[in-house]
């Protein structure tokens, strides 16, 4: 993605974001450069009518990125739930098999699981 992995250029990030379906070119530009390029002449070269349009596009881009991060975190949390560490009743470390009763997580002993019945 970046030509030099130790020295990233903003133009490369802008191009990569614009290639996604999440942001268009104006949104990618506004997101990457933030308040750095608010001079009228610079904004006009990038296709913005004025500073207000630039700020509106920048806000929209930031909102889209925040939504994408939230969705990624939501999916990650769903796919990989936190592994429970200890039995609620006795405090022993839970192995790969445990019983969930309401909010309690019980080890095989406290959950009355016959280990011979487990396939």
Which tokens belong to 17? 């974001």
The ranges assigned to domains in the chain are 10-79, 82-119
Q: Which residues contact 88 (CB under 8 A, 6 or more apart)?
A: 103, 104, 105, 106, 110
Residue 74 CA to residue 79 CA, distance in Å, equals: 9
**Alpha carbons within 13 A on the beta-carbon side of 104:** 11
pTM of the model: 0.59
Could you read off the pLDDT tens digit of each residue along the chain, which spans 119 residues?
A: 678 877 888 899 899 999 988 999 999 999 998 867 667 777 888 889 888 999 999 999 999 999 999 999 998 877 655 667 888 999 988 877 788 888 888 888 888 887 776 65
């Amino acid at each position: 993605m970046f030509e030099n992995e130790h020295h990233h250029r903003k133009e490369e990030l802008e191009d990569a974001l614009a290639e996604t379906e999440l942001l268009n070119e104006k949104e990618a530009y506004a997101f990457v450069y933030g308040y750095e390029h608010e001079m009228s002449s610079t904004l006009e070269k990038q296709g913005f009518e004025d500073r207000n349009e630039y700020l509106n596009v920048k806000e929209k881009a930031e909102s889209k990125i925040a939504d994408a991060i939230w969705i990624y975190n939501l999916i990650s949390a769903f796919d990989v739930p936190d592994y429970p560490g200890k039995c609620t009743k006795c405090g022993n470390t839970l192995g790969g098999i445990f019983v969930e009763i309401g909010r309690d997580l019980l080890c095989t002993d406290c959950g009355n699981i016959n280990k011979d019945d487990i396939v």
